[in-house]
Amino acid sequence: MDSTALNQSQEKAAAGDVAAQMALARHHEAEGRFDEARHWLERAVQAGDVDAMAALGELFLIRPGMPVVEGIKLTVAAAERGSAQAAHQVAVFAGAGAGIPQNWRVAFDFLQRSAELGWPLARKQLALFSSDREPAQTSSENNSPEIWKRLREAIDIDALTASCQPRQVVQSPRIWVIEKFLPCTFCDWLIERAKPRIERARIFNTQTGSGSVANARTNSFMDFNIVEADLVVALVRSRIAAATGLSAAGMEQTAILHYEVGQEFLRHYDFLDTENAAFAAELARHGQRVATFLLYLNEDFEGGETGFPLIDWMYKGRSGDAMFFSNADITGAPDRKTLHAGLAPTRGQKWLLSQFIRSPYTPKK
């Protein structure tokens, strides 16, 4: 938006033009001026605009320093008033148990509502989850509310949320494997959702306290925040919690990892080193990474194992298989036998889902 257009939008917005207020909010958010974006969205919400209500809820949910609880309330209100995007977001809330109680029937009811209101992502997910394949094949071209109801009714929630039994394969460090943890169709979905947003992966820089690019890690990644997530991501997180016995409340943002031929993540630990003072504030604020869960999203590649050199053990799952390990030993101390590496594929591309799980940390006195 050039200066002339910006001045015109400001004049119209100040006079109460909701479209101009929304345009200004988008402009300020793109420029990183979130307080200004909030101001104009709040003006549009006061005028009764449902899209502004949904946008303000999203702003509150993902921007630091914003009132997250108010963002949840605004999103729910926007969904109840007919926002397709907000209805999808409430479906994710209910599936993840984020801000509202976890309830998969409520989640799929809101997914159906979002699809009826025209949200493309909701329509695609209903077709993905449904066992009724005939309408699923034509759902993208069909706007009849009946098709979304039929797809919703054909979802077997009990089967989707059934717990998986892990098999312990290594005693020290503690490592488990789960074959067929997730259907391959969901794995393909996660890959396609990740592709447009992958970027060079980073490692924690103890000097700056933030992530930075390093030669030790050459693969790419992306992660899902609460707004970018969908019900497939929420389902994966729910199944991980059930399989590991650890709370979803301690999960970091779910990440998708991508490795081209030759790309790797050299030997490293996932726990935060309690002997390194640089991690003290992070440990106190968010707790220790007590577990790492890896879900293999494809299998059409060679090489690319996850290797544990100190115990001479490697693993490479098929599509939908998972492996997880405890980053802490039975005393709760960081387990240095968990040293591991993401080895480079020699042919094809490797896709993984990675989930770190935290637990409150109390330093020893």
Span 81-113, pLDDT tens digits:
999 999 999 999 999 999 999 999 999 999 999
- The residue-averaged pLDDT of 227-256 equals 96
- Among the listed ranges 170-174, 229-233, 236-240, 327-331, which one has the minimum average pLDDT value? 327-331
Crossing angle between the packed helical segments 50-62 and 18-30, to the nearest 10 degrees: 20
CB atoms closer than 10 angstroms to residue 15: 9
Quick check: 206 pLDDT over 70?
Answer: no
With pLDDT > 70 as the criterion, what percentage of the chain qualifies?
Answer: 94
pLDDT of residue 137: 56
pLDDT of residue 357: 97
Q: Measured over all CA atoms, what is the biggest interatomic distance in the chain, rounded to whole angstroms? A: 70
C-alpha 169/C-alpha 176 separation (Å) is: 6
Exposure string over 17-44, b if 16+ CB within 10 A, otherwise e: bbebbbbbbebbbeeeebeebbebbbbb
Residues 211, 205 contacting (CB under 8 angstroms): yes
- The residue-averaged pLDDT of 295-306 equals 98
Adjacent-strand bridge partners of 259:
350
Q: Is the peptide bond before 183 cis (omega within 30 degrees of 0)?
A: no
CATH of 1-81, one of 1.10.1060.10, 1.10.10.60, 2.60.40.10, 1.25.40.10: 1.25.40.10
pLDDT of residue 35: 96
pLDDT of residue 362: 67
With pLDDT > 90 as the criterion, what percentage of the chain qualifies?
Answer: 83
| Position 149, amino acid | K
Q: In this structure, what are the phi and psi dihedrals at residue 249, rounded to the nearest 5 degrees?
A: -65, -25
- The residue-averaged pLDDT of 243-267 equals 97
190 burial class (0-12, 13-18, 19+ CB within 10 angstroms)? buried
Quick check: 140 pLDDT over 70?
Answer: no
pLDDT of residue 282: 86
C-alpha 356/C-alpha 365 separation (Å) is: 26
- Mean pLDDT, the chain, rounded, equals 93
For domain 167-359, give the CATH superfamily.
q2cbj1_9rhob like domain (2.60.120.620)
Coil, strand, or helix at residue 195?
helix
Quick check: 33 pLDDT over 90?
Answer: yes
**pTM to 2 decimal places:** 0.93
Quick check: 315 pLDDT over 80?
Answer: yes
- The residue-averaged pLDDT of 310-316 equals 98
- Among the listed ranges 88-92, 216-220, 273-277, 285-289, which one has the minimum average pLDDT value? 273-277
Residues 6+ apart with CB under 8 A from 334: 269, 271, 272, 273, 274, 288, 327, 328
Residues 6+ apart with CB under 8 A from 64: none
Q: Which tokens is 192 given?
A: 């396609």
- The residue-averaged pLDDT of 72-79 equals 98
pLDDT of residue 6: 81
Quick check: 207 pLDDT over 90?
Answer: no
Q: Which tokens is 173 given?
A: 């460090």
Q: What is the pLDDT of residues 270-281, one digit of tens each?
A: 999 988 888 888
pLDDT of residue 234: 98
Q: Could you state, in order of their start, the residue ranges of all structural domains in the chain?
A: 1-81, 89-161, 167-359
